[in-house]
Amino acid sequence: MYFDAESKMMLNISNRTVEKTGNKGAKMYFYVNNPKALEGWSPNIKLLSSVSYFKGIPARKEWESGTRVMVRLIDLFKLMKFIHLGFEKEN
């Protein structure tokens, strides 16, 4: 399984941003601070990788400075990530 996830800090930021648009019914609740902790859900779950959301995407001069800073902060503090989980067969 491969999915994107936000940290708790980013989840709070995202929820505040959505609420500012007037949408009170789209609150998110699921976050992942430590992808390795997902292995604790089952002995059959293994973390295969966790990659920063913007890894490998170079900041471009054409982007607004706020966007460049945001991208760097998100990766620096691991606020958003792609998580790849594998599932082992039971014996």
The DSSP H or E segment spanning 41 is: none
Give the 3-state secondary structure of residue 66: helix
Q: How far is CA 50 from CA 68, 72, 74, in A?
A: 22, 17, 14
pLDDT at residue 52 in the model: 93
Q: What is the pLDDT of residue 91?
A: 62
The enclosing H or E element of 12 equals helix 8-20
The pLDDT of residue 51 is 95
Tens of pLDDT along the chain (91 residues) come to 999 999 999 999 999 999 999 888 888 999 999 999 999 999 999 999 999 999 988 888 899 999 999 899 999 999 999 999 999 987 6
User: What is the amino acid identity at position 71?
Assistant: V
What is the spatial distance between Cα 25 and Cα 60, in angstroms, rounded to a whole number?
A: 35
Amino acid occupying residue 17: T
